[in-house]
């Protein structure tokens, strides 16, 4: 297959590109700069220059491909609503190009904010409370006949080079001189290694089940207090609870995410994709690569 990958030079997208090429696929990678283009070319893919807001470029990439994997997102969490609107329009634009074909569209979504079922976010957890519109947009395209599916990622997709939530939490601990957790720290997060996630994306685009929702989960449930305790130990900082306005003061923009319950399971995903995580878990990865 010739697969159009957005975010192809990013932390997750670059791993997806390498996974696809290793499996014998051809890749067109969307690049927003020459620096990004070099990363994509060096991985063995071809390049389409543009951004998520260049809708004609997105149409071009979608029309040239046998399938699409959408990993790009504007990671400015201070303008999360705007980033979500850009993402929604990009997904609709690419999906509309694929309408009337059997070509797969695999779109990235998140798990935080979804409703747990018996303590865990499952593939059946409704999307209603998600702060990110990508899943609802994709499933609407599926209902309209587009061969679209969703890869849900945990709050931590980890590996060397991570620039996501966990490095930000570590940076805030350094900045504030304390490794904090909200309230009692009893909420949980799930996690997956980047290379395990990349394999799941490949399997999702190859198997291409219309309307499928895949929970790509390695670690199912890590207590936030456990993460904070590890950070405190590694940085030799005190570990303490924060509540009320102190949560916002310490965690800044991430205060809206840090209190979510994010324990998740992906039993159906593993069965449907014949996928199992094989790389190290988040806590071990943090100890080895994050400090």
The packing angle between helices 194-207 and 11-22, to 10°, is 60
Give the confidence band of 220 by pLDDT, cuts at 50, 70, 90.
very high
Contact 149, 212 (CB under 8 A): yes
Contact 115, 125 (CB under 8 A): yes
Among 262, 267, 215, smallest CA distance to 119 is for 262
Among 157, 201, 194, smallest CA distance to 27 is for 201
d(CA 48, CA 45): 10
pLDDT for residue 75 is more than 80: no
Helix (H) or strand (E) run with residue 6 in it = strand 2-6
Render the burial of 250-276: b for 16+ CB within 10 Å, e for the rest.
bbbebbbbbbbbbbbbbeebbebbebe
Cβ-count burial of 78 within 10 angstroms (0-12 exposed, 13-18 middle, 19+ buried)?
exposed
Residue that the structure tokens 């030799």 belong to: 236
Per-residue pLDDT tens over the stretch 251-285: 999 998 999 999 999 999 999 999 999 999 999 99
pLDDT for residue 58 is more than 70: yes
Considering the chain, what is the average pLDDT of its residues?
Answer: 95
Per-residue pLDDT tens over the stretch 229-257: 999 999 999 999 999 999 999 999 999 89
Mean pLDDT, to the nearest integer, of 111-133?
Answer: 88
d(CA 162, CA 160): 6
pLDDT at position 77, please?
65
Give the confidence band of 80 by pLDDT, cuts at 50, 70, 90.
confident
How many other CB atoms sit within 10 Å of the CB of residue 238? 11
d(CA 118, CA 71): 29
Cα 287 from chain centre:
22
Contact 150, 107 (CB under 8 A): yes
Pairing status of strand 213-215 against strand 2-6: unpaired
The dihedral region occupied by 119, where left means phi > 0, alpha psi between -120 and 50, and beta the remainder, is left
285 or 73, greater pLDDT: 285
State the pTM of this model. 0.95
Q: Strand pairing partners for 26?
A: 2
Mean pLDDT, to the nearest integer, of 112-133?
Answer: 88
45 phi/psi in degrees, rounded to 5: -105, 165
234 CB-near residues (< 8 Å, 6+ apart): 286, 287, 290, 291
pLDDT at position 101, please?
95
**Token pair in block for residue 255:** 């205060």
Give the confidence band of 97 by pLDDT, cuts at 50, 70, 90.
very high
Where do the structural domains in the chain lie, given as residue ranges? 2-157+193-218+264-278
Pairing status of strand 219-223 against strand 147-153: unpaired
H helices of the chain, in order, are: 11-22, 34-42, 55-64, 80-98, 134-143, 165-176, 194-207, 224-235, 245-251, 255-258, 267-273, 282-289
Any idea which fold 2-157+193-218+264-278 has? Rossmann fold (3.40.50)
């Amino acid at each position: 297959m010739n697969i159009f990958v957005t975010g192809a030079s990013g932390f997750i997208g670059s791993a997806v590109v390498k996974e696809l090429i290793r499996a014998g696929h051809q890749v067109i990678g969307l690049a927003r700069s020459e620096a990004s283009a070099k990363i994509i070319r060096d991985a063995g893919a071809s390049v389409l220059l543009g951004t998520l807001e260049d809708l004609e470029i997105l149409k071009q990439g979608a029309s040239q491909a046998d399938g699409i994997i959408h990993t790009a997102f504007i990671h400015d969490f201070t303008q999360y609503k705007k980033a979500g609107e850009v993402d929604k329009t990009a997904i609709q634009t690419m999906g509309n190009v694929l309408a009337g074909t059997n070509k797969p569209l695999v779109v990235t979504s998140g798990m935080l904010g979804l409703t747990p079922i018996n303590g865990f976010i499952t593939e059946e957890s409704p999307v209603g409370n998600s702060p990110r519109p990508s899943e609802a947009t994709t499933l609407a395209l599926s209902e309209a006949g587009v061969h679209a599916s969703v890869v849900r990622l945990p709050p931590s997709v980890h590996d060397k080079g991570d620039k996501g939530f966990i490095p930000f939490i570590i940076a805030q601990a350094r900045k504030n001189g304390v490794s904090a957790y909200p309230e009692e720290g009893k909420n949980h997060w799930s996690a997956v290694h980047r290379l395990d996630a990349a394999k799941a994306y490949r399997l999702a685009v190859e198997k291409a089940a219309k309307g499928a929702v895949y929970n790509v989960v390695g670690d199912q449930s890590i207590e936030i207090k456990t993460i904070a305790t590890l950070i405190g130990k590694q940085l030799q900082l005190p570990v303490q609870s924060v509540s009320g306005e102190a949560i916002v003061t310490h965690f800044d923009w991430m205060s809206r995410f840090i209190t979510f319950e994010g324990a998740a399971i992906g039993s159906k995903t593993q069965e449907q994709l014949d996928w199992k995580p094989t790389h190290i878990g988040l806590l071990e990865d943090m100890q080895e690569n994050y400090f």
